[in-house]
């Protein structure tokens, strides 16, 4: 359901360049409960395959109460070192999660940051080796 909404909003899986996931468990739960839902191949591979990705899904797992910020780190779907696509989506749901609830979210971008100026991670590695 979440993946289908992202594909619909982006226009196609090919249009998605950056992606990530997040889970927040309410105060009566444990972070492990949130992790158990999003750190499975059944969850991640469905999104990864739908957008034609190769890199792993960046993620956050948190425990919090209602209106807790939900932060989804994004990275390029083919190249986890492409700094232009290091983005963050943040939002909150005023009445969630309740103590016994989980919030599961996916995020995506159709491009990187405009006018990024932080260089190339791979070039940094080459310079450090010199």
What is the three-state SS of 7-40? HHHHCCCCCCCEEEEEEEECCCCCHHHHHHHHCC
Q: Tell me the C-alpha distance between 66 and 68, whole Å.
A: 5
Q: What is the mean pLDDT of residues 27-51?
A: 95
pLDDT at 111: 96
Q: Tell me the C-alpha distance between 104 and 86, whole Å.
A: 20
pLDDT at 119: 74
**Cβ atoms of 59 and 21 closer than 8 Å:** yes
Q: Which of 28, 97, 30 is nearest to 66 (CA)?
A: 97
pLDDT at 35: 95
pLDDT at 102: 97
Domains assigned to the chain: 2-129 (3.30.1330.110)
Q: What is the mean pLDDT of residues 67-76?
A: 97
Q: What is the mean pLDDT of residues 12-31?
A: 98
Tell whether the model's pLDDT for residue 116 goes beyond 90: no
Q: What is the mean pLDDT of residues 53-74?
A: 96
This prediction's pTM: 0.89
Q: What is the mean pLDDT of residues 111-122?
A: 84
């Amino acid at each position: 359901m979440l993946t289908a909404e992202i594909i619909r909003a982006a226009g196609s899986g090919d249009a998605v360049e950056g992606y990530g996931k997040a889970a927040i468990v309410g105060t009566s739960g444990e972070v492990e409960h949130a992790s158990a839902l999003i750190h499975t191949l059944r969850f991640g591979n469905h999104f990864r395959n739908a957008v034609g990705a190769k890199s792993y899904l960046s993620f956050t797992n948190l425990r919090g109460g209602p209106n807790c910020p939900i932060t989804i780190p994004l990275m390029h779907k083919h190249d986890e070192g492409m700094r232009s696509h290091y983005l963050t989506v943040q939002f909150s749901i005023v009445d969630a999660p309740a103590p016994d609830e989980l919030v599961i979210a996916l995020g995506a971008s159709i491009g990187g940051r405009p006018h990024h100026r932080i260089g190339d991670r791979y070039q940094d590695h080459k310079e450090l080796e010199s």
